[in-house]
Structure 1
Amino acid sequence: MTAATLLLEIGTEELPPKALDRLARALADGVASGLDEAGVDRGKARALSSPRRLAVLVEAVAEAAADRRIERLGPPVASAYDADGNPTKAAEGFARSCGVDIAELETRDTDKGERLAYAGTEAGRALSELLPEIAAGAARALPVPKRMRWGDSETTFVRPVHWVTALHGDRVIELTLFDCRAGRVTRGHRFHHPEPIELPNADDYIERLRNPGYVLVDPEARREAVREQVAARAGEAGGRALVDDDLLAEVCALVEWPVALAGRFEDRFLALPREVLISTLEGHQRYFPVEDDNGSLLPAFVTVANIESREPQRVIAGNERVVRPRLADALFFWEQDRRQGLAKLADGLARVTFQRDLGSLAAKSERVAELAGRLAGAASADADAVARAATLAKADLLTEMVGEFPELQGTMGRYYALEAGEPENVAIALEEQYLPRAAGGPIPATPAGRALALADKLDTLAGIFALGKRPSGEKDPFALRRAALGVLRISIEGGLSFGLRDTLAHAVATQPVTVDADTVVAELVDFHRDRLRAYYAERGIGAEAFEAVAAHGLDDPRDFDRRLQAIRTFMAESAARTLCAAHKRVRNILKDRADEAAPVVPDLLVEPAERALHADVERLAPELQARSDAGEYTEALRRLAELGPAVDAFFDDVLVMAEDDKIRENRLALLAALDTQCRAVADISRLPVES
């Protein structure tokens, strides 16, 4: 069967840059999976895109789906023919559904008796028949952020669609998408080559768009072209470009024919904090900043145009003219905010609402200060520094600079605090209160920063949960999942131990709302447990190990982590499998008994194996308790593994459910003592015995 490259292209007006890659990948995945489901042999599917098009190229696509062997069972023979041997309606209907005459059916013995059957081969449908359905299905499934209509059409898409191209090799596949009939014509760059471009073959697509079309439709090639050009222009400006991956992706989604150009701004703007300059250039203008070999910013930037201008200096001058007022505004904000001072700004927090039912930012700052004071000792932080940082923590939210650049909250607090002569540890804590800012981002590095970040996050969690506004589904407007994960990461990765339940209880108690505190705290602990489960799952830690430790509850996240790491080490021990299996058996035997068991009576231990197990349990009990109390969980589990041989011998030689009531109860008491030891660090009965 002849195979050729398949091209499907949807030509549009300029697509949303942040959605471009996702839409292109979804189109490629949709077409590829549609071909697979239809049984069409194919090669690699390649997602292509530019601001004005989504496309997919699929290598070596067959002309038709493979033939399929069909076997179907019909009605019982007894009901397929009447007394005279004539076919009944049941037989006729089955034959009709198979597309054959009754004479072509056969009988087959089954476990339910003789039945009519059909066996045959269904010819694979041609690609020309299948692709319209596949393309329509892929288009419907695209993750369009917001749909629109255009003209008098009832069809909807993220942007108006102007053309569709569908080729299999050199042959046009007839289909209609978004009211556009497919052909072999694509279009080049809006300004450099607005004329239609005819494609003799699907294999010509990428090259014909490049020349004469002035379009780099391969996103990876476009990305590398931008990266190389930006680096070259920055070098010509005397430095190296700061290339943020998110900005690079956005710029690549805005241009079809990238042309990098270097511009400059006045030296006086270098007085601005580095982060302000970068935010202005990257966030507002989509320029790439330039720094020197020492890491200091230069008064230069690199912009990427979507046109190869005959007068590049005019393009550069236009970009310089646009960025100048942005930088001038930032310099004005910087000077104004410094004159006011952070402490004076903090006085205005009482006039700003944090949340309607939770009071002002000033009230939140007071709650955070009290909570941070409770956590200062656990963080080994200076209590005075923590208290001062908590007082100033939200003041920069009232600055002109943060009003213009919300992403710089905390960062500007650090700058303004240092300008005002605040201690360095206080200033750094103001920035670190928001860490980690994203999943996988750094946690606070300083003790005061950790205490303040914990307090701020816990207060927000307590307040929003007290209002009954916990996240649901994908909705999390207060970023509570990120806050809870931040709490856990600061504790675990920062080596900070504290009682989560008690701290949450205090945070809930200080909220200006009346609630059932016990219920809210229980919900918060469960919420943190769910975040912790996901945290470990991302690190490849199995659910069994997590649940073994979670059986003890979640209070101190750092202690939880130490227990979990000890369990992972224990699971690698050869004796772990034996002891885990034995503990599962013990838990099953004891499942209907009260937790409090009677003490073991040594005189009622009649079998050597039970006496030996009792001796080992008694001998190890003090050390296991001491190791657990000291947090030496790995060593405690290593010593626990020593019980393996005695436990094996006990179950081999001793009948637990003896007829004598006293002996039976005594043996159950021995197993209860063993169970207690096996749950000292974690409930090892929950671990997989195959480990």
Structure 2
Amino acid sequence: MKKKIFLMELKVENIPSHLLKKLSLSIYNKFIQKLKKENFFYKKIKWFSTPRRLAIKIKNIHLKNQEKYKIYKGPATEIAFDKKGKKTQITKIWMKKFNISSNKIKILKIKKKKYLTYQKKKKINYKKKLAQITKKILYSLSYFYSMRWNEKKYKFIRPIRNILMILNKKVIKYKIFGLKTNNYTQSYLYNTKKDIKILNAKDYPKILLEKGKVIANYEKRKQKLHSKIIKLASKNNSYLKINNSLLEEVNSLIEYPHTLIVPFQKKYLFIPQEINIYIIEKILKSFPLFNKKNKLKSIFIIVINIKKKNHKKIISGYQSVILSKLQDVLFFLKRDTKEKIKKKKKSLKKVIFYKNLGNMYEKSNRLKKIITFFQKKIQFNLQEGIRAASLSKCDIITHMVTEFPDLQGIIGSYYAKVSNESKNIYQGIREQYLPKYKNDKLPKTSIGIALSISDKLDNIVGMFMIGQKPKGEKDPFALRRAAIGIIKIIIQNKISLNLNKIIKKIIMIYNFKISSPQIYKKIVIFIIKRFNNFYCKEKNIKNIIQSVISSKKINLLKINKKIQMILKFIQSNDFKEILITNKRIENFFKKKSLKLPNKIKKSLLKKNIEKKLVKKIGKLKKKIHLLNFKKKYNQTIIEIIKINKYIKKFFNTVKINNKIEEIKINRFTILNKIKKIFSMIANFSYLY
């Protein structure tokens, strides 16, 4: 059978840049799932996306079996034949209706009763099937902030203008979103009046690049963009700090990258560098340039779709925008710095943190108390830490943060600096929100670390207490991101904390009457579950995490080290032997419910292996206590591997369920001691 290429392209109005890749991958993954379910096979599937198109190209697509059978049920056998075994009139009428010959009749048992049946081959129209699959997938994407764009009830992220759907050279005729499918596409921004006809699916996206000047492949377009900005920066004796999230965003705004240099007045470079960078990156979606000393230059790179000989108007437009924003910044800075930052704190009483959680003044006072819990573990000047916490939210009511909310913290740090606060204080204020997003940098200063953890824990505890925890994919207060940030900071800086204790203290600071006395446990579990993000590629990671959090004291640093330890050993034969031993011990205790003494009676040890094992157990318990204290978990497993040889020998040579009750209880006590030693490392029962 000839294998074919399927192509589908959805032509839409501009898709929001932050959703483009997510939407494209969702369509791609849904095609993989649906094709598998519908028994389709293919060699390769590719996704393409630009702000104005979403496409899927499937190479060598075919159905495993293009034929299916439809069963026609006839009369029951009891009325199908007479006493002589001849066909009754009912049977003859049924056979005549479907033009059935006697040799094509089969008897099938349906719901405990036998019937005459006829199976008719029905060829599958797999073009239609592909169209149906496409329709279901596209209609299922309504959860992407959908909108309606005409009198119809169709919903999608943006209005759909055209649907291309072909198999090799032939259009798959179908109707989706009220539009008839065809084999036409368009270039970027309708720069040509004529549509581009795709004569063969294999030519996509090559024909689109040649005739429409569009790079449909998302990753190739990003590589092209990256290469162009690097070259242009080098040409202008400048250096780039590649912001990957900005690179992704700009790539999602264009269909073919063209780069230009835009200059602005040098006199504005005295404005704090972070503010200028923010305006260039976040507002202008452009790339700032730096000199050898890592100082911002008065030029930046813009990326556009249109290539023209004269770009003066475009450059002038960007210059007008940046000049306007920089003038606003100067005005706001002058107004905000008329008084010292500490005088702004009282105004925080007017700013609500969240309903039932008080105002920002109360939040900053909570942070003053929370930050003290970390002083011994993180080691910072306590007075400076409290001062930083007290001033941390003062920039919220400034003109600068009102205009540029994303600069919160950075602006507070700048105002604290000009108010003559110490370096430790203003650096701590700057770092309080780090990390803000995936792969963002972490706080480096001691006060910044303590304040960041304090702020994130305060948010999580407060929202859980009023029942605003994340549900499903919804997380409006970014609590998952906050929890991941806490874990990252603690692991990176090797901070050993009793999380249960700290969360309980924060709950007491809120002084709420909580309906559930176990609220802190829910918060702890919520934070620990975020370890899944760190080890998402590892098999059985949920069970591994569960195995190391069975203790009463939750220490994120220890949990991470134990996870790493198990991941290192889990595939080894020695570790598998430990799991077998643990399971054998648990099986003994499932069968018996005995009251066991705390101590092993040495007088009841009858076999040499018993005596050796008991000696090893005594020494091992002390050794593992010491190794756990030093967080040398890899060594603890090695010690368990060593003693496991004696435990196996013990099982093979000693009868646990001895007829003499005292000896039996003594042997169960030995097993219980081993079980407790194993639990000092992890709850291995989660790993079977």
Same fold (TM over 0.5): yes
| Aligned pairs (5 A) from 1:281-680 | 281-309=280-308, 311-515=310-514, 518-532=517-531, 534-537=533-536, 542-567=541-566, 571=570, 575-591=574-590, 593=593, 597-629=597-629, 631-680=631-680
What is the CA–CA distance in structure 1 between the aligned matches of 2:277 and 2:226, rounded to whole Å?
18
Instruction: Specify whether residues 68 and 390 from structure 1 end up closer, same or farther in structure 2 by C-alpha distance, changes over 3 A only.
Output: same
Which residue pairs with 2:243 in the alignment?
A: 244
Instruction: Specify whether residues 285 and 595 from structure 1 end up closer, same or farther in structure 2 by C-alpha distance, changes over 3 A only.
Output: farther
Instruction: Specify whether residues 579 and 516 from structure 1 end up closer, same or farther in structure 2 by C-alpha distance, changes over 3 A only.
Output: same
Whether the 8 Å CA contact 1:6–1:168 is kept in 2: the answer is yes
Structure 1 residue 253, shift from structure 2 partner: 3.3
Which residue pairs with 1:8 in the alignment?
A: 8
Structure 2 segments unaligned to the other structure (5+ residues): none
Structure 1 residue 565, shift from structure 2 partner: 4.3
What is the CA–CA distance in structure 2 between the aligned matches of 1:53 and 1:533, rounded to whole Å?
34
Which residue pairs with 2:44 in the alignment?
A: 44
SS in structure 2 opposite 1:339?
A: coil
Instruction: Specify whether residues 332 and 79 from structure 1 end up closer, same or farther in structure 2 by C-alpha distance, changes over 3 A only.
Output: farther
SS in structure 2 opposite 1:141?
A: helix
What is the CA–CA distance in structure 2 between the aligned matches of 1:95 and 1:441, rounded to whole Å?
73
What is the CA–CA distance in structure 2 between the aligned matches of 1:234 and 1:99, rounded to whole Å?
78
Which residue pairs with 1:167 in the alignment?
A: 166
Which residue pairs with 1:132 in the alignment?
A: 131
The residue type equivalent to 1:547 in the other structure is Q
Superposed CA offset, 1:130-182 (max 9, x none): 34323322322335623334444444433333333333333333222222223
Instruction: Specify whether residues 143 and 88 from structure 1 end up closer, same or farther in structure 2 by C-alpha distance, changes over 3 A only.
Output: farther
What is the CA–CA distance in structure 2 between the aligned matches of 1:212 and 1:569, rounded to whole Å?
53
Whether the 8 Å CA contact 2:596–2:669 is kept in 1: the answer is no
Structure 1 residue 59, shift from structure 2 partner: 3.5
Whether the 8 Å CA contact 1:432–1:444 is kept in 2: the answer is yes
Report which stretch shifted further, 250-259 or 79-88.
79-88
The residue type equivalent to 1:245 in the other structure is N
What is the CA–CA distance in structure 2 between the aligned matches of 1:280 and 1:94, rounded to whole Å?
79
Superposed CA offset, 1:74-102 (max 9, x none): 89996585334345899899999999655
Whether the 8 Å CA contact 2:71–2:120 is kept in 1: the answer is no
Whether the 8 Å CA contact 1:214–1:257 is kept in 2: the answer is yes
Report which stretch shifted further, 533-542 or 385-394.
533-542
Structure 1 residue 402, shift from structure 2 partner: 1.9
Whether the 8 Å CA contact 2:165–2:182 is kept in 1: the answer is yes
Superposed CA offset, 1:637-678 (max 9, x none): 433433323322322222222222222222222322332333
What is the CA–CA distance in structure 2 between the aligned matches of 1:294 and 1:537, rounded to whole Å?
39
What is the CA–CA distance in structure 2 between the aligned matches of 1:354 and 1:172, rounded to whole Å?
57
Superposed CA offset, 1:196-218 (max 9, x none): 33444444554544454444434
Instruction: Specify whether residues 201 and 398 from structure 1 end up closer, same or farther in structure 2 by C-alpha distance, changes over 3 A only.
Output: same
What is the CA–CA distance in structure 1 between the aligned matches of 2:571 and 2:190, rounded to whole Å?
65
Report which stretch shifted further, 261-270 or 37-46.
37-46
Whether the 8 Å CA contact 2:68–2:122 is kept in 1: the answer is yes
What is the CA–CA distance in structure 2 between the aligned matches of 1:163 and 1:528, rounded to whole Å?
45
What is the CA–CA distance in structure 2 between the aligned matches of 1:51 and 1:96, rounded to whole Å?
59
SS in structure 1 opposite 2:262?
A: strand
Percent identical pairs in the alignment equals 25
Structure 1 residue 440, shift from structure 2 partner: 4.2
Report which stretch shifted further, 402-411 or 146-155.
146-155
SS in structure 2 opposite 1:302?
A: strand
What is the CA–CA distance in structure 2 between the aligned matches of 1:630 and 1:681, rounded to whole Å?
13
Structure 1 residue 57, shift from structure 2 partner: 3.3
Structure 1 residue 31, shift from structure 2 partner: 5.5
Structure 1 residue 251, shift from structure 2 partner: 3.0
Instruction: Specify whether residues 315 and 54 from structure 1 end up closer, same or farther in structure 2 by C-alpha distance, changes over 3 A only.
Output: same
What is the CA–CA distance in structure 2 between the aligned matches of 1:331 and 1:90, rounded to whole Å?
95
| Aligned pairs (5 A) from 1:211-226 | 211-226=210-225
Whether the 8 Å CA contact 1:77–1:114 is kept in 2: the answer is yes
SS in structure 1 opposite 2:680?
A: coil
What is the CA–CA distance in structure 1 between the aligned matches of 2:164 and 2:630, rounded to whole Å?
70
Report which stretch shifted further, 277-286 or 14-23.
14-23
SS in structure 2 opposite 1:355?
A: coil
What is the CA–CA distance in structure 2 between the aligned matches of 1:291 and 1:94, rounded to whole Å?
86
SS in structure 2 opposite 1:547?
A: helix
What is the CA–CA distance in structure 2 between the aligned matches of 1:262 and 1:597, rounded to whole Å?
81
Structure 1 residue 122, shift from structure 2 partner: 5.0
TM-score, normalising length: structure 2: 0.87
Superposed CA offset, 1:532-580 (max 9, x none): 4554455667444433322223422223334444555665776544444
The residue type equivalent to 1:371 in the other structure is I
Whether the 8 Å CA contact 2:23–2:144 is kept in 1: the answer is no
Report which stretch shifted further, 486-495 or 87-96.
87-96
Structure 1 residue 291, shift from structure 2 partner: 2.0
What is the CA–CA distance in structure 1 between the aligned matches of 2:429 and 2:305, rounded to whole Å?
41
Instruction: Specify whether residues 540 and 417 from structure 1 end up closer, same or farther in structure 2 by C-alpha distance, changes over 3 A only.
Output: farther
Superposed CA offset, 1:400-426 (max 9, x none): 222222222222222222333322222
What is the CA–CA distance in structure 1 between the aligned matches of 2:4 and 2:607, rounded to whole Å?
79
What is the CA–CA distance in structure 2 between the aligned matches of 1:97 and 1:605, rounded to whole Å?
87
What is the CA–CA distance in structure 2 between the aligned matches of 1:686 and 1:15, rounded to whole Å?
44
Whether the 8 Å CA contact 1:359–1:512 is kept in 2: the answer is no
TM-score, normalising length: structure 1: 0.87
